[in-house]
Structure 1
């Protein structure tokens, strides 16, 4: 229960408070909060497993003898070190591999939209709304959604169903 409470509340906190106040996270296009919902929550789940792993309960899932978390394991706690080492390896691996992939993609197409289009928004640039609840393929309507500056330059695109 402690793991569930912490792995739910800490990622929410990191997404809502420090992420919005820091300059660096604002430069990362993480619209869905993937860093928080998968990265932070996954890291917490792994590390808290290293704290709370109880050998009798672990044996119910997989026959292991060395799964003593730092809290229930008494003088053990080696599982927390293993979880931390695994997490650091995965973080390092993801940084290296994702960087290579992004550099390769950026050689072919730009990864970031120009600033004027970012101000308009991805939906409007493509001439539609992402979550069109009232009509399928609802167009971006400047009179309904407001606009200023470069937004007025967006030409509507008609979408006709087949």
Structure 2
């Protein structure tokens, strides 16, 4: 997904630092689609009773009930479309409300300095007291040149 994110024009415009799209949208959609394909009739029976309409596409072909399998796949795609629509709607509303209180983007001048510096913090501080590796007692920043040569 990270390769596709760098190659697809639309995805290049999305700032997805935490890979939320890859983790939730792609994985969730794939899970929904595969559920529609592999939905076992014996498990569907637990939720829907003896209703023959609920069957995975793979089992539907095996049982000669392709129409029911395609119906299930249609329901899976409709569910994905509903989730996308509700997420876009709710996220847009939240961002519009937040924008009334604080700006959602840094100015161009602040972007040149960097958001970490603007907020006075380092991203991905790995030590318990919030310092980065280079400035910690574990990094090379506090070791004398003689000691660093000795370690190498």
Q: Which has the higher contact order (CA 8 A, sep 6+)?
A: 1
Shift of residue 119 of structure 1? Answer: 3.6
Which structure carries more helix by proportion?
A: 2
Tell me the equivalent position of 1:28.
14
| 1:9-158 → structure 2 map (5 Å cutoff) | 14=1, 16-59=2-45, 62=47, 64=49, 65=51, 66-74=53-61, 75=66, 76-77=68-69, 78-134=71-127, 136-138=129-131
Alpha carbons 2:32, 2:80 under 8 Å: kept: yes
RMSD between superposed Cα atoms in Å: 2.7
Structure 1 segments (4+ residues) deviating >6 Å: none
- Contact 2:33 2:76 (C-alpha < 8 Å) held by counterparts: yes
| Alpha-carbon distance, 1:26 to partner | 3.1
Contact 1:47–1:84 at 8 Å: present in 2 too? yes
Cα deviation, 1:105-146, whole Å, max 9, x if unaligned, reads 11221111123333443322222223222461327x9xx9xx
Structure 2 residues without counterparts, runs of 5 or longer: 140-152
Distance change >3 Å, CA 83–CA 115, structure 1 → 2: same
Return closer, same or farther for 1:117/1:68 CA change in 2, 3 Å cut-off: same
The Cα of 1:21 is off from its aligned counterpart by 2.1
| TM-score when normalising by structure 2 | 0.70
Give distance in 2, aligned partners of 1:56 and 1:135: 50
**Residues 123 and 130 of structure 1 are in contact (CA less than 8 Å); yes or no, is this contact kept in structure 2?**
yes
Moved more, 99-108 or 61-70: 61-70
Question: CA separation in 1, counterparts of 2:9 and 2:33?
Answer: 27
Q: CA deviation at 1:29?
A: 2.4
